[in-house]
Amino acid sequence: MPADNRGLTITTESTRAAVLLSETIDAFAARQANTGGLLQSALEEDPNGCFANAVLGWMLHGARTTALTEQALSALNAAKITAPKATRREQQYVEALEYALHGQLIMAAKVLEAVVDEHPTDLAAIVFLQSELFWLGEMVWSERVSAKFIDHWNESIPGFPALLAIRAFDLEENNRFDQAENTAKRALALNPADVWSAHALAHVMLMQNRIDEGIEWMASKAPLWADANQMQYHLAWHECLFLIERRQHEQILSIYDERIRNRQHHLCAAMPDLYIDLQNASSLLWRLSQAGVDVGNRWQPLVDVIHPRMDDMSNPFTSAHFALILAANESYSDCESLIQSMESFSQNADHDLAGRYKRAAIPAAKAALAHHRQEHAHVIECLTPALNDLWEMGGSHAQQDIFFQLLAHSTAQIGDRKNHERLLHTIEKQGFVDAAARSVYQH
Ligand SMILES: [Fe+2]
């Protein structure tokens, strides 16, 4: 039976399909833009392959949009037809996918963890699992998983740099910055173009307030990421987080237009509403507006893109950003409708995201709206009780920071210096070094 590049069996009668599927996994782990094309070719070779269809379902689920739910369910059904003849590992991918597509995200993660426990070199399961845990905010859990599999890997196993990158990001999100940096640099020594380890390192530099070093490093490495998937946009967003600290606003606006929200660029043209891109774009425009920059008519195109997705509750952090977009565009009644949709979804006890919406995304969305209306006391009322739960929206410390910035600004606006200082202390507990020195908190 054919196997992937790490020797794990792929059940298919087509050797060519297995080779293409293995290349798909490698490209996916390396965050390369050609991943979807490779998977498509693998499916053309063996349209009924259980593993190929399960991987397709997982990738569609990973796009975190209800627009792709039907396609993901079709992939799941196709995988189930040939599952009885597949290996136990492949069947577990299908089982986990079924949980995920029915809102049982914790169970899905547990099944993937069981796969990784038994097959610690299963790179696809590792990447799917980290992504799932990341968007659940469960980075403590994610680190616990990577601590188990890391020792099963070495340089002779294909995909090692991508694996190191995963470990580095887990370490970084758990504030183990030195280990994260060493791990990311080890990956980059093996593959200087590795996107996810560059990303982990960018996070470390931001958390440690290494602004000038971050600007120089990101600018010098950006050409290496041209073949990456939309992570290249997210890395450009990270570059802008450093530039904001140096108030390089004109430069940020050109990076926004060219490398973060360029509708002519092939990735953005193919999927203009990808959730992470909308998060990048809106949180950067918000930060610029907050710094007093006129961002022109850049909000409206984001509003146009999110309009068909007002009832899409596939990612709490994205929904909170939709609120930022609608509030910034002064589309207040749409923003209120969005919050209502979020509230009715949060009553749905059968979905693992329901409670996360309730405890984190809804307070954040309400605060975004109140902040734009300059109702600063209301911002404090919404966010303060939710402060310890915001991690449940998913996303990194660097991304979640926008809601801390919003609260810090409102606290300063009403002149509550004591609470402002207490908040800076909370922000430092998130892992940010010397919060008071950062321009985004100086009001
Ligand atoms: Fe990031």
pLDDT tens-place values along the chain, 443 residues long: 899 999 999 999 999 999 999 999 999 999 999 999 999 999 999 999 999 999 999 999 999 999 999 999 999 999 999 999 999 999 999 999 999 999 999 999 999 999 999 999 999 999 999 999 999 999 999 999 999 999 999 999 999 999 999 999 999 999 999 999 999 999 999 999 999 999 999 999 999 999 999 999 999 999 999 999 999 999 999 999 999 999 999 999 999 999 999 999 999 999 999 999 999 999 999 999 999 999 999 999 999 999 999 999 999 999 999 999 999 999 999 999 999 999 999 998 799 999 999 999 999 999 999 999 999 999 999 999 999 999 999 999 999 999 999 999 999 999 988 888 999 999 999 999 999 889 888 87
- Among the candidates 117, 149, 181, a domain finishes at 149
- Give the dihedral of Cα atoms 230, 235, 236, 241; nearest 10 deg: 140
The half-sphere exposure of 67 on its side-chain side, counting CA atoms within 13 A, is: 13
Mark which of 102, 129, 149 sits at the end of a domain.
149
pTM (predicted TM-score): 0.97
Which long-range contacts link 136-142 to residues 24+ away (Cβ below 8 Å)? 136/105, 136/106, 136/109, 136/352, 136/356, 136/392, 136/394, 137/356, 137/360, 137/391, 137/392, 137/393, 137/394, 137/395, 138/109, 139/170, 139/173, 139/174, 140/174, 141/109, 142/170, 142/173
Does residue 423 lie in a domain region? yes
Q: Which pairs count as long-range contacts for 77-82, CB under 8 Å and 24+ apart, including other chains?
A: 78/47, 78/48, 78/53, 79/50, 79/51, 79/53, 79/54, 81/48, 81/50, 82/11, 82/48, 82/49, 82/50, 82/53
* Cα 206-395-308 angle, rounded to 5 deg: 125
- CB-based burial, 352-362: b 16+ in 10 Å, e otherwise: bbbebbbbbbb
User: Considering the domain boundaries, does residue 68 fall inside one?
Assistant: yes
In-domain check, residue 271: no
Q: State the DSSP H helix or E strand holding residue 106, giving kind and residue range, or none if neither.
A: helix 105-118
How many C-alpha atoms does 184 have within 13 Å on its Cβ side? 23
1: CA distance to ligand 1 center in Å?
39
User: Separation of 238 CA from ligand 1 center, angstroms?
Assistant: 7
Q: Of 388, 357, 363, 369, which is closest to residue 135 (Cα–Cα)?
A: 357
Q: Is 24 domain-assigned?
A: yes
Separation CA 179–CA 201 (nearest Å): 11
Domain with 143 in it: 1-149
Domain harbouring 126, CATH code: 1.25.40
CB atoms within 10 A of CB 206: 24
> How far is 139 from 274, CA to CA, in rounded Å?
22
Distance 280 CA to ligand 1 centre (A): 9
**Is 355 part of any domain?**
yes
C-alpha dihedral (56, 58, 62, 67), degrees to nearest 10: 60
CA of 203 to the centre of ligand 1 (A): 6
Domain finish residue from 111, 131, 149: 149
Rounded CA separation 369/331 (Å): 10
Would 381 be classed as within a structural domain? yes
Q: Is residue 362 part of a domain?
A: yes
Tokens of 335: 């923003």
CA of 228 to the centre of ligand 1 (A): 14
171 Cα–ligand 1 center, Å: 13
Ligand 1 geometric centre to CA of 169 (Å): 9
251 within domain boundaries: no
Q: Is 207 helix (H, G, I), strand (E, B) or coil?
A: helix
Total domain count for the chain?
A: 2
Query: Residue 9 in 3-state DSSP?
Result: strand
pLDDT at residue 417 in the model? 87
Distance 400 CA to ligand 1 centre (A): 10
CA of 48 to the centre of ligand 1 (A): 36
Distance 364 CA to ligand 1 centre (A): 19
Give the distance (Å) from ligand 1 centre to CA of residue 310: 25
